[in-house]
Amino acid sequence: MGRILKFPSSVSFRYMTHNILAQLIAFTPRGATLAPDEEAFITRNRISSFVLFARNIPDLQSARQLIARLHELAERPLIAVDQEGGRVIRLPDPATHLPSAMTLGATHSPDLAFRAGQATARELRALNLNVVLAPVLDVNNNPQNPVIGTRAFGDTPNLVSEMGTAWLRGAQSEGVAACAKHFPGHGDTRVDSHEALPRIDKSRAELERVELAPFRAAIEAGVQMVMPGHLLMSALDDACPASLSQPIITGLLRDAMQFNGVVITDALDMHAVALQYGIPGAAFEAARAGCDLLCVITQHEETLAALQRAVDDGSLAIERIEQSVQRITQLRQQLAASPSDPAWLGASTHRALAHQIARAAIRVHDTNHLLPLRAWRDTFVVEFALGRATIAEGAPVAAGKLLARLRESAPTLNSIALPFNPDDATMRDVITRASDAHTLVIATRQTLHFDSQQRLVAQLLALGKPTVLIALRDPYDLALFPQAHCTVATFDDSPAMLDEMVAVLM
């Protein structure tokens, strides 16, 4: 028999806790393939959870290769993506681009929401993914919100609760874990947590009535994951962001609201927490507060080392970590089913569903009966670019998306694609061109945030010509221009919605 090696108890305990702590790391690769040092880190530490972004899966072949490799390296891994629909998607073509949550909310159809969640989950499983970081359950009750907007189902707790729970039931019916975010509610703020720490000063009674209501509904519906937001809610904890707050994560979410599933942090490189705590420091605070999975975008080694030091010096109890590992392991076992049919990716039934949602959602107010437009030869079309894309969107939005579709039917269309905040010279040129047209079509994007876009739209409407005003993203743009007699709200500019918008115009 070989000689049995006996390690000092402190060394063996440290080795054991190191492997346990590694289970809390939700690993994100740097690119579309794993570098040797990344593979070594995963295998050495037995990493079992991953979060992928658009940069990791830029095309179908890369996605399949990377995901297959993760399954080879990790037994029964959790692999998550943000596939919300609308402006936040991660799956590459030919995956179906479903409309936004606010588009679904505009349909007021829980059935369509269920089917959207179901279709999303089927396409994830077609790529052997098993966690969707959605639905967004923030109540978007502040039109100036720069980061949520159309990612929310709406601006009332009842609508968000009804549509959000239907969506998550649809996703989880297909064996994919849904994740309710951003607890306790990121809707009533003007600050993007990617850039700074939002603060919400509302009473506990207000939070219970509005922000917390959709999360209570999601927990009752059996949601398997919850993501706390990087935001400070003074009525709940005036010192720490929600994602790092023991009173909020353990006291409110676990104890008071009885959530027993997995809590995963939002990305820990977001400035709302990273600027003050650093990524390893934020990970330690989140783990101590009661979070299970730590979304560590970079500094994986440093984060694991920081957690180990915290256990060694007694500031992080190993019993607290073991509770998280138990919840993570249980979810991994529940989601270990084989992938679904690869043909679900971009399935014709899913694309048809996207168009059905868009048709049901689009809102037309046409008191002068301008639509459909007939005299395209005498029509001038103005489309503004998107100016406030957030990191959550993954990639910049191409300018002139609506114009490109219109030109397919009207190649000689008189049109211009404008920046989101045009300068005075550009504005004068647009007014001159518009003055020579009979009919105007103006497509805005987040006019609410940009002064010169607002001024130009007002000047175009003041010309008194027959005008169609289209809000291509946030519908709040239309409230700025009550003088407009023909308006269209689309709630997003996804491919299906743009197709339906062209059908309305033509």
Residues labelled as active-site residues: 266
Q: Enter the DSSP assignment of 293.
A: B
Tokens of residue 162, six digits: 């009804």
Contact yes or no for 163/151 (Cβ under 8 A): no
Phi, psi of 487 (to 5 degrees): -130, 150
CA–CA distance, 206 with 216 (Å, rounded to integer): 14
Sheet of 486-489, strand order: 363-366, 486-489, 467-471, 439-444, 379-384, 414-418
Q: How far is CA 10 from CA 6, 15, 22, 329, 386, in A?
A: 11, 9, 18, 26, 56
Q: Which residue has the tokens 């295998």?
A: 43
Q: Enter the DSSP assignment of 376.
A: G
CA–CA distance, 60 with 475 (Å, rounded to integer): 33
Contact yes or no for 490/362 (Cβ under 8 A): yes
CA–CA distance, 320 with 288 (Å, rounded to integer): 8
- From the centroid of its chain, how far is CA 252? 24
